[in-house]
Chains A and B, each alone.
Chain A
Amino acid sequence: MSYPTQFRYTKEHEWIEATGDLATIGITDYAQHELGDVVFVELPAAGTNLVTGKTFSSVESVKAVSEIYAPANGQVVEANTALQNKPEVINSDPHGAGWLVKIKLSNPADFSSLMDAAAYEAYIEEKKKEASA
C-alpha cells in the first residue's frame, strides 16, 4: 500500500492529514500490519483535548495493545465510531475508512517535526531491516 503524499507521519506510525485547521488522524498501513487482526478500538469523546506525543486512543489486535499518540495538539470534533463495530476496517483501509479521529488543530502550521511520505517510507524500510537482522 502506498503512503499518501498529502499526509504527515510520526515515528509511532500515526498519520495526519490537515485541511485548514481541521485534521484527520489514523494509523499507517505499516502499523496495522505489525499489529495484525484489529479487534478493538478505544476512541476519545468529542471535545477531548489532544496533546502532541500523548496517548489518546488504543488499538488492539488479538495479540497486542497499541497505544496511539497524538501527532498534533487539538480538540476532537469527531471520533470514527463506526470502528467500534467494524474495527477490522483499520486493517483493510488504514489510510481511508479506518481513520480514528478528526480534530480542530490548535496550531495548524506546526507539522515541521513530522515526516513526509518519502521520509516515512525510508524510516519503515529501516525498521524492516532491523526486524529481519
Chain B
Amino acid sequence: MPVEYPSSGGLVAEHKAVRSGVGIFDVSHMGDIRIRTTKKPGGALDAVQYLTMNDASKLAIGQAQYSAMLYPEGTFVDDVIVHRLSEDDYLLVINAGTREKDINWVRQTTVDFDCTVEDLSDNYTQLAIQGPRGVDVLRKLTDANLDGLRNYWFTHGTLCSLKNTLIARTGYTGEDGFEIYIPADVPTSERIWNAVIEAGKEFGILPCGLGARNTLRLESKMALYEHEISDKINMWEAGLERYCKMDEGEFVGRAALEKARGVGLQRILVGLEMVERGIARDGYRCLNENGEPIGVVTSGSPSPTLGKNIALAYVPPAMSALGTLVYVEIRSQKCKAQVVATPFYKRLKKASAK
C-alpha cells in the first residue's frame, strides 16, 4: 500500500473521503491465524482465552472483538481482532510487521492446548471499505444481509461471484465500514479491487493509502504497534483495560498486570492538542514547564477532520488530567499543548429508525 494515491488527490482528500463518503484500502499485508479445536469441544476457546487478553467466551458465532496478545510481563506481542468463525474455530487478524513473531508466539503459547494453528496469511487478501457510504458500495456487490450486520460482527456471502466470502463490519478508521477477506491470488484481488472502485464511483470512492490510514486511526485513538503499544508498554499504560478480562480468568500477562495494578503507573497514554503553532510528531519529547523531559509523543499529526494538530503521548499520571499543559519539543523549541479528551474524533451514531 502506498502512502497516498496521487490519483486520489493525496492524503487529505483520501482522509475526507472516508469521513464523509467511502474509501478503499489494500490491507492484504495483514496476517491471519486460524485456531481450531483438534478433538475435544472447547479446546480452541481455551487456547484463545489463554493467548489473548479480551474475553473470547463472550463471542457468539459471527462476532469479533478487539484484543491483544501479551507477554508474561503484560506488554504487547501485538493487538489482534479475534473472530469466532464457528463453534470451535477462531480467526485472529494480526499486523503485518509482526507476522513472523506472532505466528511463532501463537504456536509456542498454545502448544499444550487441544488445537491446531494455521497461518493463513498467504491465503487471503484483505480489503477495507471504510466510510458512511461503504455499506452502499458493498450492497451492490453482495447478497449478504449488510443492514442486519452490527459493528464488530461478520457474515459470509457471495461477493462478486466469490462464494462464502467473509465480510466483517470492522475497520481501523473510526468510521462505519467493512473488511472483506478474499482469495490472495493477484487476478482475484485485482478483480475485486476494481469491482469495488467501479461500484463506489457514484459515491465518490477513493483508493486510500497508509497516510490516511494513519491519520484516521489517530483521530479515533486506535493503537499502532511500536507506537502506542509495544513490548515495552503494558496494557494499563496503553489504557486498554476495557478490552481486558483482568478478573475473568487466566491469560498470558495477567499475573504481571495484577502486580502492576498494585504498584501504580509510571506513565499513561493521553491525547494532546497543540495550543501553540507546531506539529508534534512521533518520537518528539514531552517537557514540563521547566523544560524537563516528562514523556514522549507516540503519534502526532495534523488532524484533517478537526483542523488541529493532535498527538498521542505517554506522560506521568500527574500530568494526565484534562486541560493540563504539556510542552512538546519541536526542533529545540518548547511548544505548548494541552491534554484533551480522546478519541479526538467520534462518529455520530445514526439516529435510530422510527
Contact = CB atoms under 8 A, between A and B. Distances in A.
Interface of A: 36-37, 39-40, 42, 58, 60-63, 65, 84
Contacts of B10: 36-37
Contacts of B15: 62
Given A36-B4, A39-B302, A40-B279, A62 B331 contact: no
A36 B215 CA distance: 14
A58 B190 CA distance: 39
Interface string B296-311: 0000011010000100
B11 interface: yes
28 contacts: A36-B4, A36-B10, A36-B11, A36-B12, A37-B11, A37-B12, A39-B279, A39-B302, A40-B277, A40-B278, A40-B302, A40-B309, A42-B331, A58-B331, A60-B279, A61-B11, A62-B12, A62-B15, A62-B211, A62-B301, A62-B302, A63-B4, A63-B11, A63-B211, A63-B301, A65-B279, A65-B281, A84-B277
A37 to B, nearest CB: 5
Contacts of A58: 331
B179 to A, nearest CB: 23
B3 interface: yes
Interface residues of B, number: 18
Interface in B302-323: 302, 304, 309
Contacts of A61: 11
Given A37-B10, A40-B302, A84-B277, 10 more contacts: A36-B10, A39-B302, A40-B278, A40-B309, A60-B302, A62-B12, A62-B15, A62-B211, A62-B302, A65-B281
Nearest to B6: A33
A65 to B, nearest CB: 6
